[in-house]
Amino acid sequence: MLVAALLVLLFCLRGRAGLSPHFLKQPEDLVVLLGEEAWLPCALGAYRGLVQWTKDGLALGGERDLPGWSRYWISGSAASGQHDLHIRPVELEDEASYECQATQAGLRSRPAQLHVLVPPEPPLVLGGPSVSLVVGVPSNLTCRSRGNARPNQELLWFRDGVRLDGTTFHKTLLKEGPTGSLESTLFLTPSSHDDGATLVCRARSQALPTGRDTAVTLNLQYPPVVTLSAEPQTVQEGEKVTFLCQATAQPPVTGYRWAKGGSPVLGARGPRLETVADASFLTEPVSCEVSNAVGSANRSTALDVLFGPILQAKPEAKSVDVGEDASFSCAWRGNPLPRITWTRRGGTQVLSSGPTLRLPSVGPEDAGDYVCRAEPGRSGHGGGAAEARLTVNAPPVVTAMHSAPAFLRGPARLQCLVFASPAPEAVVWSWDEGFLEAGSRGRFLVETFPASEGLEGQGPGLISVLHISGTQESDFRRGFNCSARNRLGEGGTQVHLGRRDLLPTVRIVAGAAAAGTTLLMIITGVALCCWRHASFSKQKNLVRIPGSSDGSSSRGPGEEEMGSNEDRGPIVPSDHSDLILDEKEALETKDPTNGYYKVRGVSVSLSLGEAPGGGLFLPPPSPLGLPGTPTFYDFNPHLDMVPPCRLYRARAGYLTTPHPRAFTSYIKPTSFGPPDLTSGTPPFPYAAFPTPTHQRLQTHV
């Protein structure tokens, strides 16, 4: 124990005798952020005296808590020689040169420079945190930061972590000092995709390498973004189609406007348009314009409309000379495009396919109408045709027309038909001794008329007529030439006049006259015969038969049956001829009804019908006559003649039509005696007959 104490004492004595005060640790330059803590180390060896710190040569004091410097203090064990200086929080005024001094030993550390860094403050974006911009309009964003950062700061723009270019940077200093403000401007032309995007302005310096950020959100105002669709997109002509106009916009949509082919569609206001498709929709697209407070935008679309052929260009008529080329063209529109063919009217052969028809070196036979036909496509609709006429200019074509034969010394008419393109300059008739183009010359006269129909492709026709008055023998033997000419040549034909003989006509007229004369004689003879017969009967053969005016008589049942089998009266032999009455007695016949029916006797003339054996049919007997009086008389023994006509003839006021059963029940009497007038017996046996069923004929004379 004693040895150990001696050793320690020896060591101490050696230290005092051999070591001098010295710095074990000296402060070094230090960079510290504003507001943080600064620590400057100082350690001394072999020193037990006073230690103090100086700031820019100003002593801070020897106490450990450094009175008067509230943010300053010295830490460490003085016994161990530890004298560290602490500053918290560091301010800009703390930036200085610091030394650690051992006053009693006369020691001074090397100066340590304290640098105070000022980090940038968070920048300010003008108009933030939400900035309203208009899509498509060039704009700028300004980021501003105070300029008191140490060292100087920089302002940067970022989007989604990516630095943006197109910025400018400038610094504004304050008059009072080195500090000022910094601004960074970002130039951009926003698009609709930038709506809602977040941009970051970052203030960065060495004091704060990570920087300080300020974010701003873009709130974009943009005109409508329009999409236009049609349903269905392919449609048959005449079907309904619906157009739908959809739009996104900020601020919201304020209106819609529809147009077709640049012309407004009246009455269409909303986002929907319904219409009926036609061929025009293929070339006249439908457009929809949408508006808001910022602006407007429109979109258009064309429909795929299926429709049949529509004629756009009609082929034109052509007129060419013989030997030249001819061509026709036509244009058809359709969806799908129609197939175009060329044919000749009335024919089926396809001459060409496509919109053009070429005919090289045409001749008269090529003249006519050509048809441009469009066949319907897969739509199956439509189809059509258009015609054009090809006129081939050639010398006139002259043909003879039928001319009626003429009589000698009578009028005649010859005709020819002329077709020519171009029109003939003249049509001339010529014969042996002369010619005539128009007007009259002697016995000849020429007239020209347009034909009702022209020859196909040969231009209009003309009919030229040569009139001849007082034909002569030479006119029938010679030919008459009809000729025409135009700029391309001459054509003609010969017409002959036919002769008509007079003899056959005379025979026909004479035969007709003879037949007419014969017929007239026959009619006259028959009329004369009837007239003579009537005159003779009035004078000689007037027969009186009393009877009632109704022409009916009472008959028994047996007579009724017989009357149904025969229509004419019985025939009486010619030996009963004693009842002939003279004309005077016939005329004095009284009315048996005493004027009730005002009936006169029936006058029967010789014009009554002739019965077999020479008898005559007479009217039915009167009911007032004697029983058994015959109703049939034979006048042959008295008149010695047979009446030539079977005609009924009556004088005025007499009944001439017999009852149909007037002579059906006649029985020839064996003798003629006085009537039986016993009581109970009717004065006339006809009274017992039944009354006829038909009505009586009342005749008033």
pLDDT in tens, 333-377: 888 888 999 999 988 899 999 999 999 999 988 999 999 999 876
Closest CA to 396 of 448, 462, 352: 462
Q: Report if residue 539 sits inside a domain.
A: no
Which pairing describes strands 124-125 and 139-146: parallel, antiparallel, or unpaired? Answer: antiparallel
Counting Cβ atoms within 10 Å, is residue 22 exposed (0-12), middle (13-18) or buried (19+)? middle
Q: What is the pLDDT of residue 464?
A: 92
- Tell me the mean pLDDT in the region 389-393: 91
Q: What is the pLDDT of residue 156?
A: 87
Q: Model confidence at 505, in pLDDT bands (50, 70, 90)? A: low
Question: 571-614, pLDDT tens digit by residue?
Answer: 334 343 343 334 344 334 444 444 444 444 443 333 334 444 44
Pick the more confident residue, 504 or 254. Answer: 254
pLDDT of 636 above 80:
no
By the 8 A CB rule, do 119 and 207 touch?
A: yes
Question: 526-544, pLDDT tens digit by residue?
Answer: 888 888 777 655 554 444 4
Which has the minimum average pLDDT: 81-95, 375-389, 518-532, 552-566? 552-566
**Residue that terminates a domain, selected from 285, 302, 319:** 302
Question: 137-188, pLDDT tens digit by residue?
Answer: 888 888 888 767 777 788 888 988 888 876 665 555 544 445 567 888 888 8
Residues forming a β-bridge with 134: 221
Q: What is the pLDDT of residue 187?
A: 87
Closest CA to 201 of 286, 108, 129, 249: 129
Q: Report if residue 683 sits inside a domain.
A: no
Are 43 and 86 within one domain? Answer: yes
- Tell me the mean pLDDT in the region 101-108: 88
Q: Report if residue 60 sits inside a domain.
A: yes
By the 8 A CB rule, do 107 and 47 touch?
A: yes
Are 144 and 238 within one domain? Answer: yes
Which has the minimum average pLDDT: 204-218, 508-522, 546-560? 546-560
Neighbours of 347 (CB within 10 A): 11
Q: What is the pLDDT of residue 27?
A: 93
Q: What is the pLDDT of residue 180?
A: 63
Are 111 and 133 within one domain? Answer: no
Tokens 């009717």, located at residue: 682
Q: Report if residue 287 sits inside a domain.
A: yes
Q: Model confidence at 106, in pLDDT bands (50, 70, 90)? A: confident
Are 152 and 251 within one domain? Answer: yes
- Tell me the mean pLDDT in the region 618-639: 42
Neighbours of 248 (CB within 10 A): 14
Are 82 and 133 within one domain? Answer: no
Distance CA 452, CA 463 (A): 9
Are 139 and 282 within one domain? Answer: yes
Are 81 and 210 within one domain? Answer: no
Closest CA to 675 of 632, 623, 625: 625
Mean pLDDT, the chain, rounded, equals 75
Are 217 and 257 within one domain? Answer: yes
CATH of the domain at 470: 2.60.40.10
- Tell me the mean pLDDT in the region 73-98: 90
Distance CA 256, CA 248 (A): 13
Q: What is the DSSP letter of 120?
A: P
| Centroid of chain to Cα 573 | 99
Are 251 and 363 within one domain? Answer: no
Neighbours of 543 (CB within 10 A): 24
Q: What is the pLDDT of residue 255?
A: 92
Pick the more confident residue, 429 or 654. Answer: 429
Q: What is the pLDDT of residue 383?
A: 75
Q: What's the domain range around 93?
A: 20-117
Are 328 and 293 within one domain? Answer: no
Tokens 């028809």, located at residue: 357
HSE-CB at 566 with a 13 A cutoff on CA atoms is: 13
Q: Report if residue 10 sits inside a domain.
A: no
Q: How many domains does the chain have?
A: 4
Q: Report if residue 566 sits inside a domain.
A: no
pLDDT of 382 above 60:
yes
Closest CA to 299 of 290, 310, 309, 288: 288
Q: Report if residue 582 sits inside a domain.
A: no
**Residue that terminates a domain, selected from 100, 117, 134:** 117
Closest CA to 347 of 387, 392, 391: 387
**Residue that terminates a domain, selected from 67, 91, 117:** 117
Taking CA atoms, 346 is separated from 58, 233, 320, 368, in Å, by 130, 41, 22, 10
Are 316 and 380 within one domain? Answer: yes
Q: Which two tokens stand for residue 246?
A: 């959809």
Q: Report if residue 383 sits inside a domain.
A: yes
Are 210 and 350 within one domain? Answer: no
Distance CA 53, CA 108 (A): 9
Question: What is the 3 state secondary structure string of 35-97?
Answer: CCCEEECCEEECCCCCEEEEECCEECCCCCCCCCCCCEEEECCCCCCECEEEECCCCHHHCCE
